[in-house]
Structure 1
Amino acid sequence: MNIYQHFRPEEREYIDQVLDWKDYVEQQYTPKLTDFLDPREQHILKTIIGENSDVKCSLFGGTSDGERKRALLYPDYLTPSDKDFQVSLFEIHYPKKFVTIEHRQVLGTLMSLGLKRGKFGDILLSGEQIQFFAAKEVNNYIKNHMDSIGRAGVKLSEKPLNDAAIQKEQWEEMNVTVSSLRLDTVISSVFHVSRQKSLTYIQQGVIKVNWSAIENSSFQCDEGDIISLRGCGRVKILQIEGKTKKDKWRIVVGKQK
């Protein structure tokens, strides 16, 4: 069976990486810890590893309901704990009376440090409290290089994982029927805009799938994808249930309130 046929052509490099991780665990009989993975990468990983493999897989990103998670691939003799995932929690201290810091600013600052996106996980905002998860191996680098966000001076403190802020994001689950899984069709249905409007959004580059701008209207959406429309929030494709008698697709999405 050709495993690549079940995924997108641009995902082939990542699939090869997952297969290498799996081979490593099988041959060395030792665990392999990955960077933080987005939901689509997690979905691909779980699909490839499967449930009946000699290699097992667990995911953890700092909280049980986090979005970005590290994966631990391990032989069946091992029972992993949260500590095995090497996740740290940082809180950002800043002059709250004088400045407001947004999610995009935190993300931009972390990226400007020269770190790969995979080295840090979810960014948590709860009121004025701002935290983020990071891979433990880059703790010292972050502490030594992150001293400002925009024009605001900041300080970091490391916190226990159980002190993670509670996210106030709310998702509304919806059942949607679409004529195809093309990106423009899905956008039209879930954001309640015309097909022509969805094409315009794609051409303008304001649509992202799994954090990457997509300008191909015929891009095929899949389970686990997160689709965002600038200024209108984002949706998760939670499940593709199959086709109706009229040959349309039934999908379940979570829409950010």
Structure 2
Amino acid sequence: MNIYQHFRPEEREFIDQVVSWKDYVESSYSPKLTDFLDPREQHILKVLIGEHGSVKYQLFGGISESERKRALIMPDYFVPTENEFQINLFEIDYPIKFLSIEHPQVLGSLMSLGLKRGKFGDILMKDGRVQFITATEISDYIKINLESIGRASIRLKELALEEAIKTDELWMEQDITVSSLRLDTIISGIHHISRQKSQLYIQQGLVKVNWTSIENHSFECAEGDLLSVRGFGRVKILSIEGRTKKDKWRIVAGKQK
């Protein structure tokens, strides 16, 4: 069976990576820890590893509601602990009375250190407090090199994972039926706007899928995708339930309140 036919062409490299991780665990009887994966990558990994073989997986991103998670792929007899995921939590200390720090500034500052996006997880923000989650292997590098974000000089405080900010992020599930899985159609159905308007947002670069800007309105969405439209918030495609009698797609989506 051709495993690639169930996924997007641009996901082929990641599929090969997951297969090689699985082969490594099967042949070495040793666990394999991945970088942080986005929701779509997590979905692909779940499909390829499966639930009933000699290799299993567990996902963890530092807190229970994390979006970005590391995967531990392991023999079925292996019992992991939280420490196996090698995750650190930092809080940013900055002059909160005089400056504000936004999510894109934190992301940009971390990326400017030459780090891959996969080396850090969620960025947590509430009431001016800002935290971010990283892989342990790059934590010392960040402590040495991250000295400012935007116009703010900062200091980093390393915290236990239990001290992570509890964000008020709520997702409201909704069932929708759409004529196709095209990006413009999904956006139109979820946000109750016209196809023409959704196409305009896409063309203007206001739409991201899994944190990547997509300007092709016929891009086909899939289970596990995280969609964001500037001004409308974010949506997770939780499951694709199949077709209705009228040959439309039935989708369960989580819409951020």
TM-score normalised by L of structure 1: 0.98
SS of equivalent residue, structure 2 residue 36: strand
% of aligned pairs identical? Answer: 67
Q: How does 1:76-115 map to 2 (within 5 A)?
A: 76-115=76-115
How far is 1:67 from its partner?
A: 0.4
1:156-183 C-alpha deviation (Å, 9 max, x unpaired): 0110111111011122111111111111
SS of equivalent residue, structure 1 residue 4: helix
SS of equivalent residue, structure 2 residue 185: helix
In the alignment of these two chains, the number of paired residues is: 257
Which residue pairs with 1:236 in the alignment?
A: 236
Q: How does 1:169-208 map to 2 (within 5 A)?
A: 169-208=169-208
How far is 1:64 from its partner?
A: 1.3
* Aligned residue identity for 2:146: M
Q: Aligned partners of 1:208, 1:96: CA distance in 2, in Å?
A: 30
1:171-203 C-alpha deviation (Å, 9 max, x unpaired): 211111111111110011112211111111111
Q: Aligned partners of 2:205, 2:81: CA distance in 1, in Å?
A: 41
Q: Which runs of 4+ in 1 moved over 6 A?
A: none
Which residue pairs with 1:219 in the alignment?
A: 219
How far is 1:77 from its partner?
A: 2.1
* Aligned residue identity for 1:94: Y
SS of equivalent residue, structure 1 residue 130: strand
How far is 1:205 from its partner?
A: 1.5
Note the residue ranges of structure 2 that are not aligned, 5 or more in a row: none
* Aligned residue identity for 1:167: T
Q: Aligned partners of 1:153, 1:205: CA distance in 2, in Å?
A: 31
Q: Aligned partners of 2:231, 2:142: CA distance in 1, in Å?
A: 30
* Aligned residue identity for 2:57: C
SS of equivalent residue, structure 1 residue 70: strand
1:85-104 C-alpha deviation (Å, 9 max, x unpaired): 00000011000110011111
Q: How does 1:106-145 map to 2 (within 5 A)?
A: 106-145=106-145
How far is 1:45 from its partner?
A: 0.2
Note the residue ranges of structure 1 that are not aligned, 5 or more in a row: none
Which residue pairs with 1:33 in the alignment?
A: 33
Which residue pairs with 1:49 in the alignment?
A: 49
How far is 1:204 from its partner?
A: 1.3
TM-score normalised by L of structure 2: 0.98
